[in-house]
Amino acid sequence: MTFGIAPSSAANTSTSTDLYAAPANPVARILEPAEWAAAGIPLLRNPREVVSGLHARHQPRPDTAVVAVLAPDERLLASASFDRRPATADGWLFRNALLAQLRRVIPHDLRRRTPVRTAVLLYCRDGDGRWTEEDGAWMWGLRDACTLHGLRCGAYITLTREGWQVLGEGRGGRRPHAGSPAEPLAAAPPPPRTGGAASEMLRRAAAR
């Protein structure tokens, strides 16, 4: 499991098993594609950039989930990755796992009347990009975890051998995919230059 505040990331392999403890009478909680589409999930302006950044940062393999929190301009604020434990595909279980990761990497926004930050979920799995009941459970879990953490519920993205797919939007691409080598993260732009003769002239002019 890895988590961190962007742009750095950290690794941690411990996960509390009680997060995956099912209720006494587990009921699979899922969202059908039509329900997801009707929920008004905000569209990503540049899904390829978001997917490529999360893939480079976390290098997910099948059964790895990556939850990320984005600023209004889609700048990555925090992200965490963890492995899905073998269990029934139940939104209640997935909600607990996602909420635990969100609480580790970013403070909640429950004091805000309207959520500002958005959480998105990238799930790497076997199979193709078509919707499955497991995807429906992740959708339910993401929506509920966002509500409990004061975030907007954002896109749900699958990553398979075929490529990536934003479910409910019909947008996707061939790279990265579940077997892609990690690409280097884009370097941050250099800070603006200061000092020098020109800066000194401007400083003196402003002081007059």
Least confident range of 15-19, 53-57, 82-86, 113-117: 15-19
For the chain, how many residues are written? 208
The pTM of this model reads 0.77
User: pLDDT tens digits for 30-83?
Assistant: 999 999 989 889 999 999 999 999 999 999 999 999 999 999 999 999 999 999
Q: Chain-wide mean pLDDT for the chain?
A: 82
pLDDT at 8: 33
Class of the CATH domain delimited by 2-207: alpha beta
121 contacts: CB under 8 Å, gap ≥ 6: 65, 66, 67, 68, 98, 138, 142, 154, 155, 156, 157
- Model confidence pLDDT, tens digit, residues 154-184: 999 999 999 999 998 889 999 999 988 877 6
Pairing of strands 10-11, 76-83: unpaired
Give the domain ranges of the chain. 2-207
Whether the upstream peptide bond of residue 86 has omega within 30° of 0, thus cis, is: no
